[in-house]
Structures are given as C-alpha cells and as structure tokens.
C-alpha cells in the first residue's frame, strides 16, 4: 500500500507470508520500476531479507504498534517483577512519540532501564516465565531501535501499519462471507477487491 494515497500498489495470493513467497514477487516489482525509499512493516525477518535482496538501500521503518503490542503481550497485563512493570509502562508511550525530543526521552528512559535491570533480568532462573518474557521484550526493543524513528525525519513515512492492517481486516471480513470459493475464484476476488478499493 502506498502510504500517501492509501492505494494498493500490488498484491499476491499466498497461504503463508515468508521469504519464499515474497522474494520473487519483490524482484518482479523492482523490474517493473518500483523503487521505494521506505517500508513500514512488522519485524518478520524472512520478509525483511526478501526486501533487502530486492532493494538493498531501502530503509525499514519498524511498525511501532507491532513492537508495543508484542512487548506488552509478553510482559502480561500484570507483570510479576518491578522491571517488567516499568518496561510495560515505557512501552505504553511508544506510539505517542511525535517529536525528536520525545524520542530522546524514550531512548534515555530505556537506556536507564537497561542499566538498572539488565543484569537482574539475565540472572533470573531460565525456567521462569518472567525471565523469558523480559528477555524477549528487551531483545525486541533493542533490535528494533535503529529502525524505529525514520518517520520523524520524513512525514511521509507512517510509523505503524495500521492503515494497511485495517484494509486487510475488512478484506478478511468480506472474504469470509464467500467461503467455498475455488482457489482461482479466491485470487480473482482479491484482484477485484483491490481494484474497487483503488477506484474509491
């Protein structure tokens, strides 16, 4: 989906997202002249690998909502440790970051959290759920930070995939009313759905 016009640029019908199902598609789109500057997406590594093979210089803006949702899911609604509770509160602020000063505050707060709790987290018994949850969330944020804030430099870059996810949710809801379609008709349904979306 184009971030500015919200039009669907291209689509494919595949049962599962991954490297094999996307790399040739991306290469074909590049051969047709598509040269994106940014992709806003979740952290699916296999798809990122396919994107970087097709467009080595493109920047990946990590979807802030995916980071927030995944981290808060791992930390649970009521974390059992002080470290988990504080990290959850920090994650709640992520999608509200709209300026570079707010970004700096977030990064400073996360750096302080790591300095205070990193060793404690790594010292937790590996069998404890708290250890797994905290370690995964810490890794999620740390790995995503280099690609979290491109949108602050270019207002055309969306910080979440919410618009596309909303489109996909409506597509799935409409599609479910047509259960029993053959694969050929499912592919045609997707093509017509995309066409009428863009015509609007």
pLDDT in tens, 146-188: 999 999 999 999 999 999 999 999 999 988 888 888 999 999 9
Nearest one of 40, 66, 77, 56 to 141, comparing CA atoms: 66
Residue 125 scores a pLDDT above 90: no
Please give the structure tokens belonging to residue 48: 């990122």
Single pTM value for the model: 0.92
Contact of 68 with 94, CB cutoff 8 Å: yes
**129 vs 49 pLDDT, higher one:** 49
Contact 146, 43 (CB under 8 A): no
How high is the pLDDT of residue 124?
82
Q: Indicate the Cα dihedral angle 166, 172, 173, 179, nearest 10°.
A: 170
Centroid of chain to Cα 198: 23
């Amino acid at each position: 989906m184009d971030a500015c016009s919200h039009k669907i640029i291209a689509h494919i019908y595949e049962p599962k997202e991954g490297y094999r199902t996307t790399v040739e598609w991306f290469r074909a789109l590049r051969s047709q002249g598509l040269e994106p500057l940014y992709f806003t997406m979740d952290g699916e590594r296999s798809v990122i690998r396919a994107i970087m093979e097709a467009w080595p210089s493109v920047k990946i803006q990590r979807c802030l909502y995916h980071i927030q949702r995944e981290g808060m899911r791992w930390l649970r609604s009521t974390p059992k440790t002080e470290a988990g509770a504080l990290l959850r509160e920090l994650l709640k602020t992520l999608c509200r970051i709209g300026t570079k000063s707010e970004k700096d505050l977030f990064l400073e707060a996360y750096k302080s959290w790591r300095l205070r709790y990193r060793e404690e987290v790594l010292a937790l018994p590996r069998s404890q759920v708290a250890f797994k949850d905290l370690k995964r969330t810490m890794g999620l944020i740390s790995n995503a930070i280099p690609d979290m804030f491109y949108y602050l430099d270019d207002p055309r870059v969306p910080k979440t995939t919410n618009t596309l996810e909303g489109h996909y949710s409506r597509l799935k809801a409409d599609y479910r009313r047509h259960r029993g379609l053959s694969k050929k008709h499912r592919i045609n349904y997707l093509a017509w759905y995309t066409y009428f979306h863009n015509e609007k």
